[in-house]
Structure 1
């Protein structure tokens, strides 16, 4: 029972996949009544309420980190995804578009900061990256998608319409939440764990909705394509983690806590915004397009848990070594 409680989210994923194949028509009901759109609006509203940005101003002065985070998250990663997609899936435009969509999305809101905290990293920097990427990402994602998807000549995108839509669905509820935070959050803070549960439930609904939409195509494509997508997202996320680690340590030369924050958070992408883009502009023509974002989301959740643990162990070792050096008895203690 304890194992089930601890891993309920992964059990939920399996249930969503099973339900999507068993009752694909239920997904149509969700789409018809825009149930998921309402849930996503509430999720970003709660994000605005819970996001403590009081330390962000201090980090905003670090322009080299600002530039590196934006360059990596919104230009380098989409370029890698574009190359990966066209190299590995030249005959599956759904998969190529899906990889570009998740790569162009802003970084995650809660997950990256939580894992940075687990890694004993610079949480203030992680929050800074989160706020910066989500604000900038929503503004430039239509142009990034138009650039890379336009190269492949898959579909014509209404850039202005997408920009307005994403701003209303993502930025607006987040800003409203931030404005109400001083008055509302003190009453909700004792129950903040339910905010995390709600956010994860929204992700489960996205998985169900996307899988039910693509169930026929998935059955037709067979398990080999799905395994290839999973392998490609694992490889892509691994390369992104390595690149961001090298940027943090070799290019902008951050300390260990800031390296953990940069490596983890800049490498993570939000499934929620990816869903809004796919559902609004690609779902009918490319029903398999959200499968790569789902696979990437699950990949980063699993892989970054181990990455965070490695950073945590390294931080603890550094702390122990510093303590030994301070008391002047290093030789005796060793």
Structure 2
């Protein structure tokens, strides 16, 4: 089974693309840095707008309405996303803060403050035969709450890190580049939603290509600022270990609490997959808005870049186990 999932990971060109983007940024940082030949900062803003326009136009309001009634499930998922994760960061800072570089510690805070992801949360829930409408509602609600709560959590907690973050400016920038295109997409959905739905394969490809551009641009700025000269292999190892530890803790806690709350199997699946996910699709664009030309931006987004493939791999294994269990009942 392990070999099967490793092959699946190998076939996912997007994960390979992230590695390629980091390598390319290391070799040719001058092309993708802010103000460079590619004008990547301008292209990134255009790409961010397109991503959330497509999210808005692809979201079904009927599915959201069907999942709204499970309020206990929604409360549990949102508490994990915006309360439990930050509490885990506070505990980790208390235990390991003295051993971690300050920029990497800020990166783990950013990971813990991010909203859930829509696409993989819903996909994993569907694969595991969980409550798909509730998953759609929770993932979407998390993304919308994250527009305000993510910068708020950073402003509250990063202040102890000496961070320089304007909450008002961050919320306005996020609303302009994330919420506005999302609202436009929702407004246009009755007119051209079907047309975009028939071309979902191409819009998904565009979505991932924009994320790779954002990863490349972020690392170009960081490499130019001395990413690989200031940090080495030990930073990468600490990032991988920390991301894996957070994922393992949250998966165990969501499953345990869902069962203690008396949820049925379908709602437990939704709680596990929506409550443990963190978004790369929104995370990298939001990082550009929140941290701007921060010289350590590449380090700040490292935890979410490690957490993303880990959650895909581990949750795909769990989804298959849940699906087999549901089929045998």
TM-score, normalised relative to structure 2: 0.88
Structure 2 CA distance for partners of 1:5 and 1:178, relative to 1, 3 Å: farther
- Structure 2 residue 197 is matched with structure 1 residue 192: no
State the match for 1:46 in structure 2: 54
**Is 1:307 aligned with 2:307?**
no
Distance 1:206 1:298, change over 3 A: farther
Kept in 1, the 8 Å contact 2:9–2:15? The answer is no
8 A Cα contact 1:39 1:202, kept in partner: yes
Contact 1:104 1:144 in 2 (8 A): yes
Q: Give the Cα separation in 2 of the matches to 1:3 and 1:307.
A: 15
Q: CA deviation at 1:214?
A: 2.4
Picking from 75, 80, 95, the partner of 1:72 is 80
> Match for residue 64 of structure 2?
56
Alignment partner, residue 326 of structure 1: none
User: What SS is found at the alignment partner of 1:108?
Assistant: coil
Q: How many residues align?
A: 315
TM-score calculated relative to the size of structure 1: 0.87
> What 5-or-longer segments of structure 2 have no aligned partner?
1-6
- What is the match of residue 4 of structure 2? none
Task: Indicate the structure (1 or 2) with the bigger Cα radius of gyration.
Answer: 1
Give the 3 Å change call, closer, same or farther, for CA 7–63 of structure 1 in structure 2.
closer
Does 1:316 find its partner at 2:327? yes
Tell me the C-alpha RMSD between the 2 structures: 2.2
Residue pairs, 1:148-187, within 5 angstroms: 148-150=157-159, 152-187=160-195
Q: Is 1:284 matched up with 2:294?
A: yes
Measure how far apart 1:219 and its partner are. Answer: 4.1
2:26 equivalent to 1:21: yes
List aligned pairs for 1:127-146, cutoff 5 A: 127-146=136-155
Deviations along 1:66-124, one digit per CA (max 9) or x if unpaired, are 22122111111122123324533434111111111121111112121111111121110
Q: 1:217/1:196 Cα in 2 relative to 1: closer, same or farther (>3 Å)?
A: same
The one-character-per-residue Cα deviations of 1:183-223 (angstroms, maximum 9, x if unpaired) are 11212222212222222222222322222222332343211
> In the alignment, which residue of structure 2 is the partner of 1:100?
109
1:8 alignment partner, one of 13, 18, 25:
13
Q: Please, which of 93, 97, 120 is the counterpart of residue 129 of structure 2?
A: 120
Change in 2 beyond 3 A, CA 1:298/1:3? closer
**Could you tell me how far 1:4 is from its partner in structure 2?**
10
Of the three residues 301, 305, 313, the one matched with 1:294 is: 305
Paired with 1:132 and 1:138, the residues of 2 have a C-alpha distance of 10
Kindly indicate whether the alpha-carbon contact (under 8 Å) linking 1:106 and 1:269 is maintained by their aligned counterparts in 2: yes
